[in-house]
Structure 1
Amino acid sequence: MSRIYIFTGKGGVGKTSVAAAHAVLSSGEGKRTLLVSTDMAHNLGDVFERKLGKEPVRQQENLDLYEIDPNYVMEQDFRDILSCIGKMLPDSSGKNMEDFGMVPGMEELFSLLKIADIWDSGVYERIIVDCAPTGETLSLLKFPELLSWYMEKLFPLGKVAMRVLSPVSKRLFQLELPNRQAMSDIERMYLKLIRLQELLKDRNTTSIRLVAMPEKMVVEETKRNYMYMNLYNFNVDGLYINRVIPENIGNPFFDEWLNIQKKYIAQLKESFAELPVCCIPWYEEEVRGVKAVERICEDALSGKEVFRSAIQGGREQFEQVEDGYILTVFMPNAQKEDLEVYQTETDVAIRLGNYKRNIPLPNTLKSYLITSARLEEGKLRLSFRQESDAGTQ
């Protein structure tokens, strides 16, 4: 069965080299493998010391390399979606394809749509994704859900506006409201977004792998990254601690560094006790060229089941209990003081630090209210009761 592995972490921790090592190992196992970069500051070509183009390039048997150019992908593969988006934007006439890159999130969206299309093609058994640093990766992964949420909220208003305002919309609002056919296109785009986010959150298809280093700032960001990934329901099933100084280095200059690294490695293993953890040495030279990548495979990955699909945590779930319902969301490393929960007419909104997620309520719970919220053992549990019952509490 095909699988997608997404590598992310703080900038500078060596995500590309770790992803590259997995790709080389995978191809060596005889699996048709694609190593793809969604980072706008691509450096796959630097690692493999070759120039890459706008389409996948064969590196060796069973391994292709691909640095995604979102503007090229927009023009070549998704003109119909661009046309659809254009109808929703003010004064879109006369703009060329590159102008859509100015819309926040568009580059991320088309990179993901391209990866989904490649996965659908069935050409590759494993797709390994080298992502941008943590914050950009989270924006990349959550964008389909965010955009589809907005589209779902706006569609009823859009259909009313189409009937009532269409004759005067262009003159008064400089906005070309979509006609009925265009609305069908938009609905098709909405379904495509729903399918994309399901692919990314399918624990039997997609794994998120975190790459870290044994340093304080990296450790703290990696813990937050894990927390946010679980807030949005992504399956994080592996941690790679990169650039670990060998204990037998035999140089007193590194004695204090070894003590520092031991402390933070212990912290990482404690915080991520439920995940498989792999340590990768810090080499005396930069990782460039196939031989350097193969060295990582031999030293750190060989003999380990790094491609075993592991399902960690659990998706959010609603559970019926005697006096109502309970919503459980897996949130490791979360602190009560960073958490805010509130309910709207149609959603539960969870704000954690700088990130917010809206979880749609099933129709059954539209007449229910949150009566309590508990954060215990890395799980947020929200209790719901019907309004009449909740009002008596």
Structure 2
Amino acid sequence: MRTRTILYTGKGGVGKTSVAACTGRACASSGLRTLVISTDPAHSLSESLCEEVGGTPTRVSPRLWGQEVDAQAELERHWSGVQQWLGELLIDCAPTGETLRLLSFPDVARWWIQKVFPLERQILAAARPIAASVLDIPLPGHAVFADIHRLSENMIAMNEILRDHELCTVRLVMNPDKMVIGEAMRTFTYLNLYGYLADAVVVNRVFPAEVGDYFAAWRTLQEEHLELVRSAFAPVPVLCAPYFEQEVVGGEMLDRLATALFAQHNPAAVLHDAPVQKIEMLDGGARLRLELPFSRKSEISLKQRGLELIVGVDGQRRTIALPTALAALRATQASFEDGALEVSFDAR
């Protein structure tokens, strides 16, 4: 049995950890061996579960484990060559931004492995005498390149797992606030650009009907925003959870959250499986279709380089490796309608 993977991402403070933890408890209760991993630098998984979890999988309850990844510890364990060369490494992480950097990195890594690493020794041999005369620090040695090469290969392997739409999906978590929804829409566009499948949208902390007069105006505004979410992300399922009367921590409250979110769904299932990218072979040519929801035509750029198609959207870029069947074809026409980019390829 292959492992089902669900990634929850979204703006900081929207409740990603609570949603991930409640999903984990629901999956474990259904009989699945489940691991909930937090990669957020500001960990709160232990507080959410009311159980202390560490840097390795920690048993929380029957069939449920938790883990809070310590980025510094992983750096020290796997990057010894880089450590010896660098004096200090600063990493600034943001929840959605860090996810996008992580998901876009494998395309960059492939370029390094194909173009730079094969020439590593020649580059260092040619540059070292010049650098020694003008720099106060030595050039990176082979150990540094070995660490980066190993990281790149691991990221590419991870990328192949995350792009398996039968087993891995991304779920966007948001609150029904205008700014948060705007960021989620941009993230949804970039997920499609990089070839990842978003199978659900989670709207957390929705004021219930009995909220009272004090929050009545706010609830009305939330209802308007919810209509925007449902229409904008359709046909992706939108799962809603109320703003509870108390903080969502501990097993009982997490189970209430899971009941609200998954009343009509299996939390472990792939809830939406429409492909985000499709290549169709035609007589004498081919056509590529790439879903880019919420994009504008003016934001999109295209460039073909051999069997690579470079697609840019508002500063984000992805290099799509084209199949060898397109080797004799070149991109001749592109159109963007109804949130989808279509590129036509014809004989050179």
The one-letter amino acid of 1:263's match is E
Find the counterpart in structure 1 of residue 67 from structure 2.
66
SS at match of 1:248: helix
Indicate how the Cα distance of structure 1 residues 14 and 176 shifts in structure 2: closer, same or farther if over 3 A, else same. Answer: closer
Deviation at 1:280? 0.2
2:289 pairs, out of 328, 339, 348, with: 328
How do 1:151-190 and structure 2 match up within 5 A? 151-158=113-120, 161=122, 166=125, 169-173=127-131, 174-175=138-139, 178=142
CA distance in structure 2 between the partners assigned to 1:20 and 1:218 by the alignment: 21
Aligned residues: 341
**Residues 211 and 239, structure 1, Cα contact 8 Å, conserved in 2:** yes
Deviation at 1:145? 2.8
Structure 1: runs of 5 or more not aligned: 87-91, 109-131, 388-393
Deviation at 1:25? 1.0
**Residues 9 and 173, structure 2, Cα contact 8 Å, conserved in 1:** yes
SS at match of 1:305: coil
- Is the counterpart of residue 269 in structure 1 residue 270 in structure 2? no
Find the counterpart in structure 2 of residue 347 from structure 1.
308
% identical aligned pairs = 31
1:146 pairs, out of 94, 105, 108, with: 108
CA distance in structure 2 between the partners assigned to 1:366 and 1:186 by the alignment: 31
Deviation at 1:189? 5.8
**Residues 214 and 261, structure 1, Cα contact 8 Å, conserved in 2:** yes
CA distance in structure 2 between the partners assigned to 1:154 and 1:317 by the alignment: 30
SS at match of 1:59: strand
SS at match of 1:229: helix
CA distance in structure 1 between the partners assigned to 2:272 and 2:234 by the alignment: 14
The one-letter amino acid of 2:129's match is R
How do 1:258-337 and structure 2 match up within 5 A? 258-337=219-298
Q: Which moved more, 1:57-66 or 1:340-349?
A: 340-349
Find the counterpart in structure 2 of residue 55 from structure 1.
56
Query: Can you list the C-alpha shifts for 1:292-349, whole angstroms capped at 9, x where unaligned?
Result: 2122123332452222124533153333223422222121222112212222345222
CA distance in structure 2 between the partners assigned to 1:354 and 1:333 by the alignment: 15
Deviation at 1:26? 1.3
SS at match of 1:252: coil
**Residues 347 and 358, structure 1, Cα contact 8 Å, conserved in 2:** yes
- Is the counterpart of residue 216 in structure 1 residue 178 in structure 2? yes
Deviation at 1:154? 1.8
Deviation at 1:140? 1.7
CA distance in structure 2 between the partners assigned to 1:225 and 1:94 by the alignment: 35
TM-score (norm 1): 0.78
Find the counterpart in structure 2 of residue 28 from structure 1.
29
The one-letter amino acid of 1:353's match is D
Structure 2: runs of 5 or more not aligned: 132-137
**Residues 48 and 249, structure 2, Cα contact 8 Å, conserved in 1:** yes
**Residues 325 and 384, structure 1, Cα contact 8 Å, conserved in 2:** yes
**Residues 237 and 272, structure 2, Cα contact 8 Å, conserved in 1:** no
**Residues 219 and 268, structure 1, Cα contact 8 Å, conserved in 2:** yes
CA distance in structure 1 between the partners assigned to 2:208 and 2:150 by the alignment: 54
Q: Which moved more, 1:200-209 or 1:296-305?
A: 296-305
Indicate how the Cα distance of structure 1 residues 75 and 364 shifts in structure 2: closer, same or farther if over 3 A, else same. Answer: same
CA distance in structure 1 between the partners assigned to 2:276 and 2:262 by the alignment: 29
SS at match of 2:210: coil
Deviation at 1:273? 1.5
The one-letter amino acid of 1:194's match is I
Find the counterpart in structure 2 of residue 116 from structure 1.
none
CA distance in structure 2 between the partners assigned to 1:355 and 1:157 by the alignment: 28
**Residues 85 and 140, structure 2, Cα contact 8 Å, conserved in 1:** no
Find the counterpart in structure 2 of residue 230 from structure 1.
192
The one-letter amino acid of 2:285's match is G
